[in-house]
């Protein structure tokens, strides 16, 4: 045992040390021969004899001094409404507390006064604590949230020299639990639960007994009813057996009649299919001569030097050829619907402007007939999935009917609105086409969507109907997952107003259509192909949109060369006559022979029919676009096939445009001009941009691959002043003549001009970086003579290198991107 002594115990200092040889040493002490021990310190020397220190061996007893509840001392006698202490706590052996006394404490003291501050204590609450809890010199034990039960609190103490008391002082503590934790409450609860169960059991047994008696009575009654019904059923069975025999005889006769009807129906269907096939073939055959009629008419009508009579006759011819074309298209659509070959090609788009454009197609007709023609829309914009070609045909058919049966001075309107479907509670587009025409009687309205039915076979409007227009319209609407209804009123003496309302309801979402009915994402057909003129810009519009005017026509040898591929001689000559004034024309009657012509001529554009012998237009277009020698040449497909599937196939074959027969010659001319002018704009863009991006000059993968190769070779040899046409062509891996044609067509530059352009673009980039001087830049891009470099740079960019900031080029790029 170690005992510590301090200045309070009589020693000179709490630290031991001394100076020896000008050095302070710790633990400076010695023992004399007399047995005394000397301890040195800064405050003097302490001398003592160890045997004269008997120490404090008193083991102190402990007394309780106070009881506190919630830190409030508990007095002897009454404490609130109860009494806890009947005598002093120091002589109390047991106390009883309530479960509500959640915080209580007991104070105590050790009866040793040698040095009370050094007395230490331990306590243990038996029944709650497993070990003694050391308190040092603290004289209070505090308890919180002790559960109900009986406990014994034991306290023991040690004096200043850590001699612990022989016996602990103890205090019995009982904490009364809440009533729901008492034994009597638990017994009462158990008795209540058991009693409730017994009561429920007997009540249930009594109820089941009553139900049993009731069911027995019902079963007896029901059994009697069943017996009576069985007797009745037996009687009915005998009657049914007699009737069955009679029905078997009737059924045998019906089976025979059904077989005869099916055979007759099969013959009728075969006959109808044969007639439809015949009319379809005739319709296809009519398209080419129809084109040769309408094309020259359009050509002559574009000439302003015509007499009024001639122009009137030509207008009459033009109207009837257009009507014939519409009838042919309806017949072909009817055939496709009949054979289930017509497919949807839907894509997402804003349908409102599309419907407005279809509406405007009939504006001139409304003016001529003095009809009040209007479009009412409650929708500003509506994104939905639809087949533009089918919707245009539906609306055009309904408008054609409206104009056909509405007299002059009448009214026709299209109304667009959204309405919630009563079945799936989704919004649908409602298109209402209304007119103030003669109306349809009630007994005819229910038949107007039937094939070959016409509600106006004998009318005073001098019109006739083939009876397939509305039938096709209804089937097109249903093909589009929609519905169509009609409401009509005929004028009478009581009510002179008349008119017809057609209401179309179309779904909006993509989920209504199968995967095969969705148009590929890169192909969006959002305008009717039957009105291709509306899609083109005339020359004056193009001039306003471009920075520079289109090139003027030079001598014949400098005109662009156009290849016309058409198996029909008259059609081929007709197209040639249209273009001969501005282009050098080459002709071929099939795709295979046309490929040979491409090898020997510098063709700028190709116009090809689709249906041809030896090699059709689709295969020919694909060959042109996949061949490196010809992949840059624009291709326009000219065909009598008007369905969406054929148009998509044509565009997928690589064709740049698609025109259906019959066509307006001006449409063809403008499309050619557009493609050539677009190529010239791309050349100009390449010339002004610093960064060469092949994807901005062409979308053809073969050409992009070549331009990337050309760019890589040029950039690798830019610093080589000996880079010429021969070396460049060899590095690219192509003959000089073919490479010349490709670069001239794609960039508008010869090989030498292209190399110079790439050198100067690189020089401009280095100038903008500002890391090299002009002489170093000149050498870096392959110019040995700085003066020649400066002249070439000024010729290309319009300023000398020292004044180049790139601003003009940036402005030019922004203009092109805008």
Statement to judge: residues 379 and 511 lie in one domain: yes
Instruction: Give the tokens for residue 351.
Output: 């349908």
Least confident of 129-143, 440-454, 623-637: 440-454
The answer on pLDDT for 813 being more than 50 is: no
Mean pLDDT, rounded, for 489-495? 85
Statement to judge: residues 360 and 482 lie in one domain: yes
Residue 670 in domain? yes
CA distance 663 to 79: 115
- Considering only the C-alpha atoms of the chain, give the largest distance between any 2 of them, rounded to a whole number of Å: 161
CA distance 76 to 88: 7
Instruction: Give the tokens for residue 202.
Output: 């007997």
Residue 755 in domain? yes
Question: Where among 615, 641, 676 does a domain terminate?
Answer: 676
Q: pLDDT band for position 340 (50/70/90)?
A: low
Dump pLDDT digits (tens) for 641-660: 767 777 788 778 888 888 88
Statement to judge: residues 628 and 488 lie in one domain: no
Residue 205 in domain? no
Q: How many domains does the chain have?
A: 5
Least confident of 313-317, 359-363, 493-497, 623-627: 313-317
Instruction: Check residue 477 and give its pLDDT.
Output: 92
Residue 72 in domain? yes
Instruction: Check residue 337 and give its pLDDT.
Output: 61
Q: Counting Cβ atoms within 10 Å, is residue 365 exposed (0-12), middle (13-18) or buried (19+)?
A: middle
Instruction: Give the tokens for residue 517.
Output: 């009915």
Q: pLDDT band for position 68 (50/70/90)?
A: very high
Question: Where among 152, 181, 210 does a domain terminate?
Answer: 181
Q: Which domain holds residue 43?
A: 7-52
Q: For residues 67 and 95, is the Cβ–Cβ distance under 8 A?
A: yes
Statement to judge: residues 373 and 507 lie in one domain: yes
What is the secondary structure of 498-524 as a DSSP string?
-EEEEEEEEE--GGGS-GGGBPPTT--
Residue 280 in domain? no
Instruction: Check residue 421 and give its pLDDT.
Output: 82
Instruction: Check residue 462 and give its pLDDT.
Output: 36
Best CA proximity match to 728, nearest among 741, 744, 711:
711
CA distance 552 to 560: 12
Dump pLDDT digits (tens) for 569-613: 778 888 898 898 889 999 998 989 999 998 888 888 999 998 887
Q: pLDDT band for position 386 (50/70/90)?
A: very high
For residue 768, the domain's CATH number is: 1.10.10.60
For residue 135, the domain's CATH number is: 2.60.40.10
Statement to judge: residues 697 and 746 lie in one domain: yes
Residue 285 in domain? no
Question: Where among 147, 181, 215 does a domain terminate?
Answer: 181
Residue 218 in domain? no
Mean pLDDT, rounded, for 97-124? 86
Statement to judge: residues 509 and 607 lie in one domain: no
Statement to judge: residues 742 and 773 lie in one domain: yes
CA distance 471 to 450: 6
Statement to judge: residues 708 and 741 lie in one domain: yes
Instruction: Check residue 553 and give its pLDDT.
Output: 45
Q: Tell which wins on pLDDT, 741 or 452.
A: 741
Mean pLDDT, rounded, for 533-554? 35
Q: For residues 171 and 64, is the Cβ–Cβ distance under 8 A?
A: yes
Phi and psi at 642, nearest 5°, equal -110, -5
Instruction: Give the tokens for residue 706.
Output: 């070549």
For residue 621, the domain's CATH number is: 3.40.50.2300
Dump pLDDT digits (tens) for 13-51: 777 777 666 666 666 888 888 878 888 887 888 887 776
Residue 305 in domain? no
Statement to judge: residues 472 and 351 lie in one domain: yes
Statement to judge: residues 605 and 632 lie in one domain: yes
Whether the pTM exceeds 0.75: the reply is no
Best CA proximity match to 47, nearest among 60, 63, 29:
29
Statement to judge: residues 800 and 738 lie in one domain: yes
Instruction: Give the tokens for residue 581.
Output: 């004034």
Statement to judge: residues 559 and 658 lie in one domain: yes
Percent of the chain with pLDDT over 70: 84
Q: For residues 662 and 643, is the Cβ–Cβ distance under 8 A?
A: no
The answer on pLDDT for 391 being more than 60 is: yes
Bridge partners of 30, per DSSP, are 38
For residue 506, the domain's CATH number is: 3.30.565.10
Q: pLDDT band for position 809 (50/70/90)?
A: low
């Amino acid at each position: 045992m170690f005992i510590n002594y301090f200045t309070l115990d009589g020693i000179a200092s709490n630290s031991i040390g001394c100076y020896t040889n000008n050095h302070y040493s710790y633990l400076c002490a010695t023992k004399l021969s007399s047995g005394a021990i000397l301890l040195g310190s800064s405050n003097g020397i302490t001398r003592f004899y160890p045997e004269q220190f008997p120490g404090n061996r008193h083991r102190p007893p402990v007394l309780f001094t106070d009881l506190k509840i919630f830190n409030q001392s508990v007095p002897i006698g009454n404490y609130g409404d109860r009494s806890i202490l009947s005598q002093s706590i120091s002589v109390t052996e047991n106390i009883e507390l309530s479960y509500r006394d959640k915080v209580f404490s007991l104070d105590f003291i050790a009866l040793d006064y040698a040095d009370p501050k050094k007395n230490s204590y331990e306590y243990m609450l038996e029944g709650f604590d497993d070990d003694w809890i050391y308190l040092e010199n603290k004289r209070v034990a505090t308890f919180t949230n002790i559960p109900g039960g009986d406990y014994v609190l034991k306290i023991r103490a040690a004096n200043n020299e850590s001699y612990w008391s022989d016996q602990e002082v103890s205090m019995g503590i009982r904490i009364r639990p809440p009533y729901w934790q008492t034994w009597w409450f638990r017994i009462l609860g158990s008795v209540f639960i058991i009693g409730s169960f017994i009561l429920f059991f007997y009540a249930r047994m009594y109820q089941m007994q009553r139900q049993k008696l009731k069911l027995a009575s019902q079963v007896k009654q029901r059994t009697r009813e069943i017996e009576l019904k069985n007797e009745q059923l037996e009687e009915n069975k005998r009657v049914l057996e007699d009737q069955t025999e009679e029905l078997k005889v009737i059924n045998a006769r019906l089976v025979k009649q059904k077989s005869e009807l099916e055979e007759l129906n099969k013959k009728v269907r075969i006959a109808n299919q044969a007639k439809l096939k015949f009319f379809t073939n005739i319709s296809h055959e009519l398209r080419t001569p129809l084109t040769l009629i309408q094309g020259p008419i359009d050509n002559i009508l574009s000439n302003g030097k015509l007499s009024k009579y001639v122009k009137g006759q030509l207008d009459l011819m033009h109207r009837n050829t257009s009507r014939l074309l519409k009838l042919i298209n309806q017949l072909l659509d009817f055939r496709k619907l009949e054979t289930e070959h017509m497919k949807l090609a839907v894509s997402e788009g804003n349908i409102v402007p599309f419907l407005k454009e279809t509406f405007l197609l009939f504006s001139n007709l409304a003016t001529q007939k003095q009809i009040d023609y209007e479009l009412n829309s409650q929708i500003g914009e509506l994104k939905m999935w639809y087949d533009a070609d089918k919707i245009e045909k539906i609306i055009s058919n309904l408008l054609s009917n409206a104009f056909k049966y509405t007299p002059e001075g009448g009214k026709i309107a299209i109304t667009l609105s959204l309405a919630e479907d009563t079945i799936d509670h989704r919004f649908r587009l409602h298109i209402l086409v209304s007119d103030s025409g003669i109306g349809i009687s009630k007994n005819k309205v229910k038949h107007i969507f039937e094939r070959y039915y016409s509600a106006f076979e004998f009318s005073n409007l001098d019109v006739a109907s083939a009876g397939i227009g509305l039938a096709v319209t209804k089937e097109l609407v249903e093909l589009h997952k929609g519905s169509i209804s009609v409401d009509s009123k005929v004028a009478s003496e009581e009510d002179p107003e008349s008119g017809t309302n057609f209401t179309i309801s179309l779904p909006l979402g993509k989920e209504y259509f199968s995967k095969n009915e969705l148009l590929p994402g890169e192909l969006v057909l959002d305008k009717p192909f039957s009105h291709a003129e509306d899609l083109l810009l005339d020359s004056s519009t193009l001039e306003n949109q471009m920075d520079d005017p289109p090139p003027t026509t030079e001598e014949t040898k400098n005109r662009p060369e156009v290849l016309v591929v058409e198996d029909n001689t008259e059609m081929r000559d007709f197209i040639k006559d249209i273009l001969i004034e501005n282009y050098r024309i080459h002709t071929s009657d099939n795709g295979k022979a046309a490929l040979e012509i491409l090898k020997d001529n510098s063709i700028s554009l190709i116009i090809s029919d689709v249906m041809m012998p030896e090699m059709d237009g689709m295969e020919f277009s694909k060959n042109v676009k996949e061949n490196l020698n010809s992949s840059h040449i624009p291709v326009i497909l000219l065909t009598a096939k008007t369905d969406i599937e054929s148009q998509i196939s044509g565009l997928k074959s690589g064709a740049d445009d698609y025109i259906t027969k019959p066509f307006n010659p001006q449409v063809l001319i403008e499309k050619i001009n557009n493609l050539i002018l677009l190529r010239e704009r791309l050349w100009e863009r390449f010339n002004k941009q610093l960064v060469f991006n092949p994807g901005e000059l062409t979308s053809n993968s073969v050409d992009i691959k070549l331009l990337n190769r050309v760019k890589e070779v040029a950039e690798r040899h830019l610093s080589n002043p000996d880079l010429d046409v021969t070396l460049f062509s060899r590095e690219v891996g192509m003959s000089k003549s073919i490479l010349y044609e490709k670069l001239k067509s794609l960039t508008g530059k010869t090989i030498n001009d292209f190399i110079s352009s790439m050198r100067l673009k690189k020089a401009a980039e280095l100038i903008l970086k500002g890391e090299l001087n002009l002489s170093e830049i000149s050498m870096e891009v392959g110019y040995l003579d700085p003066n020649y470099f400066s002249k070439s740079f000024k010729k290309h960019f319009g300023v000398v290198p020292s004044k180049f900031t790139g601003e003009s080029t940036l402005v030019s790029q922004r203009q092109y991107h805008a």
